[in-house]
Amino acid sequence: MYSTMLLEAAALRAQAISVLYPEAGVEAMFAEQGQTQFPLVELGCSALAKDPDSLLSLLSSALTGSLNQLPKQEMNIRVDGQNARRAAGEIMKLLR
């Protein structure tokens, strides 16, 4: 999955799994965007299923709550009501 729903899952501190199978054209999508991995996976906020077997294993882990993503989600996805202020601050830094 490569969508805002995955970001919402991570923001809600849910067990998040990104399903990106090679036959779905993942490499072409990332090459087009200049990425090698989905950002939430890189940050440790989401697990990555590359094939049906890994998806089954990750779903099993998610159902037991053992994906251990919460610390990374809390660190990287802040939902404290201050995101607009932080974004404005970063934009102001770029403009200086």
Per-residue tens of pLDDT for the chain, all 96 residues:
457 899 999 999 999 999 887 766 666 666 777 777 788 999 999 999 989 999 999 999 999 989 999 999 999 998 889 989 999 999 999 998
Beta-carbon contacts of residue 2 (< 8 Å; ≥ 6 apart): 18, 20, 29, 38
**What are residue 17's DSSP bridge partners?**
47
d(CA 21, CA 70) in angstroms, rounded, equals 24
Q: Which residues of 5-15 are buried (b: 16+ CB within 10 A; e: fewer)?
A: ebeebbeeebb
CA distance 37 to 30: 7
Residue 21 near residue 51, CB atoms below 8 Å: yes
Q: State pTM to two decimals.
A: 0.74
The residues pairing with 19 across neighbouring beta strands, listed in sequence order, are 49
Whether 57 and 17 have beta carbons less than 8 Å apart is answered as: no
